[in-house]
Structure 1
Amino acid sequence: MFGVDDEATEAAIRTYVKLMRATHAVSARTAPRLAAAGLTHTQLGVLEALLHLGPLTQRDLSRKILTSPGNLTDVIDKLVKRSLVERVACPEDRRSVRVVLTPQGQTFIQTIFPSHARDIAAAMSGLTAKDLASLGTLLRQLGTAAATPD
């Protein structure tokens, strides 16, 4: 199948397809509430990271939410226009800029995040707590292995 003779490669492809389908299904479950709030998943990721981690540089945000620096600039620009975040110069390094939640942004993300978290939990409710822990471990292993050059 797949035009591949190697069993390990075929198993990897099958698992990859399942991973992508599951990711799509969970994202589709959370998308309507985000769309109603006028947010993309990436915009929510920025707001959530700032809520839980505090002010971050764009470089750190890019790493945390797994998006390119160019895309992140556009995402932050849109959040700035909505007065949800602002860019603040770092006093210790004038070349660096931190992204900070505004008071309006803080209230907004604190209001929307609990519902988003419940949507994720509902999407993943087909798994037990033990399943989720195992999946988390496996995904961490996969991410680490995939990020390691051959």
Structure 2
Amino acid sequence: MQRRKTPEAVHTWSMMLKALRAIRYLALPPILEQGLGDSDFRVLDVLLDKGPMPVNALGPEVDLNPGSVSVAVDRLYKKGLVSRVESESDRRVRTVSLTEKGRRVFAPIFRQHAVLIKRAFQDVSPEEQRQMEEVLKRIGRRAEELGGREGHR
């Protein structure tokens, strides 16, 4: 009987990346077919989930630098999917909101996305999903801690 060796963190990280790439390969084409890019999808997803927010708060939520989030918001604005409102008290602050058209266009795209993701997870029990979420949160918190302590933020 062969004993399983203890998993190496680097191997586990590699497996996480492979799974993420496979899911991305599954989920991205339908988004692109709808005329949206990955960053557009992420912005619309956050606005649908969290509601209106300032552009500067949106960037960290969707993992985009300020320039990239501005470009994505401009693109979505031109399509009529989001609105931008300047703050009356501070003109540097713009709040981005999903428009009614944005909600109407994005809701079916998100539903299709959710179905694909659910299919990718069909062999994972709800309990295993909860465990994965907890483990990934712990890994993420530790990595943020280490990155902050070592100045890699």
Tell me the TM-score normalised to structure 2 length: 0.85
Look up the equivalent residue of 1:51 and give its one-letter code. Answer: L
Q: 1:3-14 maps to which residues of 2 (within 5 A)? A: 11-14=8-11
Residue 59 (structure 2) aligned to one of 59, 62, 66: 62
Q: Which residue of structure 1 aligns with residue 3 of structure 2? A: none
What's the % identity of the aligned pairs?
27
Secondary structure (helix, strand or coil) at the match of 1:46 reads helix
Could you tell me which runs of 5 or more consecutive residues in structure 1 were left unpaired when the two chains were aligned: 1-7
Q: Which residue of structure 1 aligns with residue 12 of structure 2? A: 15
RMSD, aligned α-carbons: 1.7
Contact 1:90 1:97 in 2 (8 A): yes
Look up the equivalent residue of 1:71 and give its one-letter code. Answer: S
1:118 correspondence with 2:133: no
Residue 46 (structure 1) aligned to one of 43, 46, 50: 43
Tell me the TM-score normalised to structure 1 length: 0.87
Q: Tell me the distance in 1 between the aligned counterparts of 2:64 and 2:121.
A: 24
Look up the equivalent residue of 1:38 and give its one-letter code. Answer: G
Could you tell me which runs of 5 or more consecutive residues in structure 2 were left unpaired when the two chains were aligned: 1-5
Q: 1:1-150 maps to which residues of 2 (within 5 A)? A: 11-148=8-145, 149-150=149-150
Contact 1:51 1:106 in 2 (8 A): yes
Deviation, 1:79, is 0.9
Deviation, 1:92, is 4.4
Secondary structure (helix, strand or coil) at the match of 2:96 reads strand
Q: Tell me the distance in 1 between the aligned counterparts of 2:43 and 2:90.
A: 22
Secondary structure (helix, strand or coil) at the match of 1:94 reads coil
The aligned length equals 142
Deviation, 1:90, is 2.1
